[in-house]
Chains A and B, each alone.
Chain A
Amino acid sequence: DVVMTQSPLSLPVTLGQPASISCRSSQSLVYSDGSTWLHWFQQKPGQSPRRLIYKASNRDSGVPDRFSGSGSGTDFTLKISRVEAEDVGLYYCMQYIQWPHTFGQGTKLEIK
């Protein structure tokens, strides 16, 4: 199975400050067409997950532009340019290049 490793697992951030979450995969997530098969999800307390970023760097509809995804191969990053109170929750990366699709352990973002 492809192992997804996130860091940090806990991320205290001051309101208005940037935040960054790293995700590393145990093998390349680049598909034969050159696209990268990685998603980022947000799960707010008590809610279902919601996808934020698809194919490593594309924002889903309705996602604020303070969220951005980058990376290629095996190293990926989710960045929040200025953290707002509503961003509190868990963040997961997920690969879908190989079955079983696998998630990272999750990063808990909280406000300092």
Chain B
Amino acid sequence: EMQLVESGGDLVQPGGSLRLSCGASGFTFNTYWMSWVRQAPGKGLEWVAHISPDGSAKYYVDSVKGRFTISRDNAKNSLYLQMNTLRVEDTAVYYCVGWGGFANYWGQGTLVTVSS
């Protein structure tokens, strides 16, 4: 069975850092584009970052450029999001999302709260 499991969400102060992880199983991880998509409390969906199957291509929404870094370790079937200089407006549930062929998979999400 296909599964994406996020971890690492926490309460952090503005200006702080956090690293999110996503473990994948049940599909050929190294052939999938992977993304982080977030949803602020009571709000809609926002694409955050996107990475190619081999990790060579990375894309970020403007609001996180220079602060967030997406990466992956295909040997460990894992996706990461390093978040630095966090802002209150980064508070959201962060979803790990996989895209491959005709398939699309979402994790259950991990909550990041940025507050003093």
A interface residues, Cβ below 8 angstroms from B: 39, 41, 43, 48-51, 54, 58, 60-61, 90, 92, 94, 99-106
In chain B, what residue has the closest Cβ to A43?
B45
Which of A48, A61, A99, A100 is close to B109, meaning CB atoms less than 8 Å apart? A48
A60 to B101, CA, bound (A): 11
In chain B, what residue has the closest Cβ to A51?
B104
Asked if A48 contacts B106 (CB within 8 A), the reply is yes
Interface of A is mostly: strand
Interface of B is mostly: strand
Nearest Cβ in chain B — how far from A35, in angstroms? 13
A99 to B106, CA, bound (A): 20
Q: List 20 A–B pairs whose Cβ atoms lie within 8 Å, in order of A's numbering.
A: A39-B104, A43-B45, A48-B106, A48-B107, A48-B109, A49-B37, A49-B45, A49-B95, A50-B106, A54-B102, A54-B104, A60-B102, A92-B44, A99-B59, A100-B61, A101-B47, A103-B46, A105-B44, A106-B44, A106-B45
